């Protein structure tokens, strides 16, 4: 099995004020989970955090790019934006940004579950 990068291991420290995280490998990157809910992803040692219409302005106002990838020659944009650099040096800011993204992820997860047939 491929060893995780030092960046992935560093995320435990980054989010220590937020709470415990799990970072399993998925597709070409990693998912970042808290309490079983994915609130971030890592691609090429770059952290992206979950957004929605109420939170993406925090990212866009700083010029942080949206996560995108190529599928069959088309660019697919996802609801994740690059995390601001200051969270890697400030655990309180990391907790704030993680909490915002986690709340969005929980809200979206609940919507998905309520739409599933019983």
Q: pTM for this structure? A: 0.89
Each residue's pLDDT tens digit, 7-66: 999 999 999 999 999 999 998 899 999 999 999 999 999 999 999 999 999 999 999 999
Q: What is the DSSP string of the chain?
A: -PPPPHHHHHHHHHTTTT---B--EETTEEEEEETTEEEEEEETTEEEEE--TTTHHHHHTTTPPEEEEEETTEEEEEEEEEPPGGGGT-HHHHHHHHHHHHHHHHHHHHHHHHHS--
Domain ranges, ordered by start, for the chain: 6-105
Domain at 6-105, CATH class: alpha beta
């Amino acid at each position: 099995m491929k060893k995780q990068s030092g960046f992935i291991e560093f995320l435990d420290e980054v989010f220590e004020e937020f709470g415990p995280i799990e970072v399993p490998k998925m597709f070409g990157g990693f998912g970042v989970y808290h309490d079983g809910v994915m609130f971030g992803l890592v691609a090429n040692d770059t952290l992206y955090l979950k957004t929605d219409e109420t939170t993406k302005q925090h990212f866009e106002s700083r010029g942080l790019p949206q996560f995108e990838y190529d599928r069959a020659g088309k660019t697919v944009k996802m609801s994740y934006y690059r995390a601001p650099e200051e969270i890697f040096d400030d655990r309180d800011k990391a907790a704030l940004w993680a909490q915002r993204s986690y709340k969005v992820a929980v809200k979206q997860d609940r919507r998905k579950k309520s739409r599933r047939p019983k």
